[in-house]
Amino acid sequence: MEKGIEKTSLIFRTKQYIPYSTILSIDRQKTRTRDTRGINLTDGYHFSILKYENNRRLIISPDCFENYMEIVEAIKSNTE
């Protein structure tokens, strides 16, 4: 069983390992695209902000991670 998540940056070719034990919380938020008049252009999408030790944060969104739901479920099941 894995004891954390690994984030790999394809651009910089770096890896970051975040142990589940260092995760303090995961907050879900929603963003919407609006025009200059404040009218919603899209229904928006959800993203999660992962807060972990040393006041570090990682934004996890479907745009950046194709396995977004799997990541969020793994974090929730291993930090509760």
Q: For residue 59, give the nearest of 47, 75, 77 by alpha carbon.
A: 47
pLDDT of amino acid 1: 55
pLDDT of amino acid 32: 73
Question: pTM of the full predicted structure?
Answer: 0.71
Specify the amino acid at residue 79. T
CB 52, CB 17: distance < 8 Å: no
pLDDT of amino acid 10: 81
* Local confidence pLDDT in tens for the 80 residues of the chain: 579 988 888 888 899 899 999 999 999 998 877 777 877 777 778 899 999 998 999 999 888 888 889 989 988 998 87
Bridge partners (DSSP) of residue 59 are: 49
Rounded CA-CA distance 46/30 in Å is 4
